Amino acid sequence: MSHHFRLGFLTHLEGTGDPRRIYQETLELFSAADQLGFDVGWIAQHHFRIHAGRLPSPFPFLAAAAERTQRLRLGTSIVVLPLENPLRVAEDAAVVDALSNGRLELGIGSGGEAGEFQAFGLDIARRRELTSAGLQALQQALRGDSLNDGGQRLDPPAPTLVNRLWQSALSVGGVQYVAKQGVGLMLSRGAGEKDKKTDEVQAPLAQAYQAAWQGQPLPPRIGLSRGIYPATDKQTALAALREPVMRTAQNMIKNGYLAAGLPLEAYCQYMHIAYGHPEEVAAYLAADQVLPYATDLILQFNPATPPLDQALWMLEQIATQVAPALGWRKTIDPNNRTKE
């Protein structure tokens, strides 16, 4: 059964070569998504090319995106909060929110890459502790609370941005904590369990989050991230997915997360990638057990990095074929404002 949700796309700004080209081409994707009626464009933060992602500083990029779009909301999925000063995150986020006329969606998380923490001189074992403390400081600043004995407060003020915070979580305890903070929940593309499908793992998390949300003044928010690769047919999609999926699978095999020797289709299923003709992609997504709980469907091409012309075509297929088949409709609000 279809239900109302916001449509988003997520990019890790991956690729080789000149990062200026990657940034400019991604800005073209944001402009196209704005024109196609997508509700939110999300970017991921990565450091030092430990990951394939090429964007360590999301807020300057989103400021540039704000100038190239009119209604598209602009999201971070995610800022690795333990590696940041939360007050500086609040300040940068407030400036982007002002420049975009209130279109920022601020997603944060604890990260998980040991090399990043080591480079910043931090112990990864403290990441959850640092994330919890950072979230409290971030919320305090965004609410406009006094930050010191002198009564200094966040400037520019962004009092409604506190209602547009998101946090990633992977466990029942984690999603319950996120709900109790009044923060939106971000669910990852893959759950990382060998013996269960991703949606089987995540459906109980969505239920636990909703149950723990009781008493909050605003409705709960669940952002569901999913891999997608629309093409003319399945074989065309699989041909494009083979190299990036197998490369990713080999890394997961080395770390003990996947069995070796499986066919490409099995690895695509484990990574929860919907691929093929747009009708097949829509059918795959429609069967997802978590979709009925999602307020935001966030689609990404990762681990594939299609060239710009292909990515633009894929965005068009999502907006005109895939998402409408799931019940999505373009917003009629020209500012695409979140009701707060």
Range of the domain at 56: 6-230+273-325
Q: What is the CATH number of the domain that holds 82?
A: 3.20.20.30
**Which pLDDT value is given to residue 332?**
59
Tokens (6 digits) for 302: 């990762």
Alpha-carbon span 128 to 47, nearest angstrom: 19
**Which pLDDT value is given to residue 290?**
97
Query: If DSSP states are collapsed to H, E and C, what string results for the chain?
Result: CCCCCEEEEEECCECCCCHHHHHHHHHHHHHHHHHHCCCEEEECCCCCCCCCECCCCHHHHHHHHHHHCCCCEEEEEEEEHHHCCHHHHHHHHHHHHHHCCCCEEEEEECCCCHHHHHHCCCCHHHHHHHHHHHHHHHHHHHHCCCCCCCCCCCCCCCCCHHHHEEEECCCHHHHHHHHHCCCEEEECCCCCCCCCCHHHHHHHHHHHHHHHCCCCCCCCCEEEEEEEEECCCHHHHHHHHHHHHHHHHHHHHHCCCCCCCCCHHHHHHHCCEEEECHHHHHHHHHCCCCHHHCCEEEEECCCCCCCHHHHHHHHHHHHHHHHHHCCCCCCCCCCCCCCC
Q: Is residue 134 part of a domain?
A: yes
CA atoms within 13 A on the CB side of 19: 11
**Which pLDDT value is given to residue 196?**
83
Q: Is residue 254 part of a domain?
A: no
Q: Is residue 237 part of a domain?
A: no
Low-confidence ranges of the chain (pLDDT < 50): 1, 334-340
**Which pLDDT value is given to residue 217?**
92
Q: Is residue 335 part of a domain?
A: no
Counting the structural domains of the chain, the total is 1
Q: Is residue 260 part of a domain?
A: no
**Which pLDDT value is given to residue 187?**
97
The whole-model pTM stands at 0.94
**Which pLDDT value is given to residue 50?**
64
pLDDT 10s digits, 261-275: 999 999 998 888 999
Q: Is residue 338 part of a domain?
A: no
**Which pLDDT value is given to residue 118?**
95
